[in-house]
Amino acid sequence: MRDLQEIVSEFDFAGRYQGAEECTTGHINDTFFVQFEGEDTSKRYVLQRINHHVFRQPAGVMENIAAVTDHLRRKIRDRKGDPSREALRIIPTKEGQLLYRSQHGEYWRAYDFIEGARTYQQVEKPVHFYHAGRTFGQFQCLLSDFPAESLHETIERFHDTPKRLADLRRVVDADSVGRVAGVQREIDFVLQRSDDTAVIVDLMSEGSIPLRVTHNDTKFNNILIDDETGEGICVLDLDTVMPGSALYDFGDAIRFGASTAKEDEPNLDLVALDLELFTHFTRGYLEMAREFLNPMEIKHLAFSAKLLTLETGIRFLADYLDGDQYFRIERPGHNLERARTQFKLVADMEAQMSVMEDIVQSILRGDLKEGA
């Protein structure tokens, strides 16, 4: 990894470089864990190559991350927490910059590696998902006084579901790789729910839901779980931190974490909403977030899970029809499998929506407490 070592040499790491291990999870960026040795200790860092075809404003991405993590670290210190474990810390370049642009036009950045914790691709213990809810809720709570409008919109209209629907219509009309005929059922599924796509955007436009700092990619695997306590300690992957709705974060977390199957499970019989996991996450989330959420946000929590699942399915389907340009795939038809999984989950959420709404209200009343 000689080329990687040259990149490593540009950052203000402590110690002597020993080597690197590639992380193979994640759809977008390339991630490496780099090892350094000091006189008495060893230390790891996270080194990432930013996909600048997806994030076309790498400098804006890093300015957002720096502003948000600085705010988080101050708040964590104020409440006597441990900012070294509870918030990401950017490692600057030797020239004091937030990222490094190589001679090949690649953009690189680095963080401290947080030891004694790990991420999980799926929920293995319900209590982990409860703590994930608390961690995402706390993330939003600590940032509830941050001026969201000051952040860059690094991916324009990222969770604008009507735009995602328009994008799908465009690639259907173009049919550039000849795949439309084979997925008419999936296209029809989306079009039958087109009225749902504008609900949150319209509520924000009319001022019923406020603009907030949101993570916008709240998958369970973006939470670090402490190895000893099983508690969520840190929110990762802040590339999509932007102005948005708190509902985007809640809905996407349920979409990914409360499903009974993986995001790309080809056997749709295995795909459903796990109401127990929905309850665990919602309880944890509301313990931290209810103090700043307004009534209209709370009213739409359950609906947001359905909407974000539908939106994600639309994105996977559109990428499949566009020749798999955005999401990294591991096999032919991978994005179609992902889309079908999302749509099956949407259908199951629709069947259980009244139960989901009742669970939210029961938690707010205090009827569903830890262990209930």
What digits encode the pLDDT tens for the residues 211-250?
A: 999 999 998 889 999 999 989 999 999 999 999 999 999 9
Share of the chain above pLDDT 90, in %: 84
Residue 372's pLDDT band (cuts 50, 70, 90): very low
What helix, strand, coil percent values describe the chain, rounded to 5? 50, 15, 35
> Residues 98, 151: one domain?
no
What is d(CA 111, CA 322) in angstroms, rounded to the nearest whole number? 34
Same domain, 213 and 260: yes
User: Above 70 in pLDDT, residue 293?
Assistant: yes
Q: What is the spatial distance between Cα 109 and Cα 281, in angstroms, rounded to a whole number? A: 31
Calculate mean pLDDT across residues 335-349. 98
Provide the residue type at 222 as one letter: N
Dump pLDDT digits (tens) for 47-60: 999 988 888 899 99
Same domain, 318 and 202: yes
Q: Do both 20 and 106 map to the same domain?
A: yes
What pLDDT does residue 131 have? 94
Does the residue 247 lie in any domain?
Answer: yes
40 and 134 assigned to the same domain: no
Is the model's pLDDT at 126 over the cut of 60? yes
CB 140, CB 246: distance < 8 Å: yes
Task: Assess whether 15 and 159 both reside in one domain.
Answer: no
Q: Are residues 240 and 318 in the same domain?
A: yes
In angstroms, the Cα distances linking 9 to 14, 94, 117 are 11, 8, 27
Predicted local distance difference test score (pLDDT) of residue 251: 97
Is the pLDDT at 158 greater than 90? The verdict is: no
The neighbour count for residue 320, using CB atoms within 10 Å, is 27
User: 94, 115, 136: which is the final residue of a domain?
Assistant: 115
Is 326 or 170 the better-scoring residue by pLDDT? 170
**What average pLDDT score do residues 281-309 get?**
97
pTM tops 0.85, yes or no = yes
Of the three residues 115, 146, 174, the one that is the final residue of a domain is 115
Triad 238, 239, 240: Cα angle to 5°: 90
Q: In the predicted model, is pLDDT for residue 13 greater than 80?
A: yes
Maximum Cα–Cα distance for the chain, whole Å? 64
**Average pLDDT along the chain:** 94
In CATH, what number is assigned to the domain containing residue 44?
Answer: 3.30.200.20
Alpha carbon separation from 60 to 57, 95, 100 (Å, rounded): 5, 18, 13
- pLDDT (0 to 100) of residue 2: 52
Distances in Å between the Cα of 49 and the Cα atoms of 4, 120, 154, 217, 342 are 10, 22, 17, 18, 29
Pair 108, 199 in one domain: no
Rounded-to-integer distance, Cα 240 and Cα 267, Å: 30
Identify residue 27 by its one-letter amino acid code.
H
With a cut of 90, say whether residue 144 has pLDDT above it. Answer: yes
**Mean pLDDT, range 74-101, rounded to an integer:** 96
Neighbours of 150 (CB within 10 A): 11
**Average pLDDT score over residue span 73-86:** 96
Residues 64, 167 within the same domain: no
Residue 370 lies in a domain: no
**Average pLDDT value for residue range 196-213:** 97
CATH code of residue 135: 3.90.1200.10
- pLDDT recorded at residue 319: 98
Q: How many helices (H) and strands (E) does the chain have?
A: 12, 11
User: What is the rounded average pLDDT of the residues 102-129?
Assistant: 92
The yes-or-no verdict on residue 1 having pLDDT over 60 is no
- Element spanning 9, H or E: none
- Percent of the chain whose pLDDT exceeds 70: 98
More confidently predicted of 52 and 304:
304
Residues 6 or more apart whose CB falls under 8 angstroms from that of 83 comprise: 72, 73, 76, 77, 89
What's the domain range around 69? 2-115
Residue 371 lies in a domain: no
Measured between alpha carbons, how far is 146 from 211 in angstroms, rounded to an integer?
11
Classify residue 171: in a domain, yes or no: yes
Looking at the fold, whether 98 and 236 belong to one and the same domain comes out as no
Q: Give the end of a domain, one of 115, 148, 182.
A: 115
DSSP 3-state of 184: helix
pLDDT, mean of residues 105-129: 92
Residues 56 and 95 in one domain: yes
250-260 tens-digit pLDDT: 999 999 999 99
- Smallest CA-to-CA distance from 252 within 307, 170, 204 is with 307
Confidence (pLDDT) at 369: 62
Split into its structural domains, the chain has a count of 2
Neighbours of 91 (CB within 10 A): 17
What is the model's pLDDT at position 368?
Answer: 65
Burial of 183 (0-12, 13-18, 19+ CB in 10 A): middle
Domain assignment present for residue 48? The answer is yes
- Please give the structure tokens belonging to residue 138: 């706390």
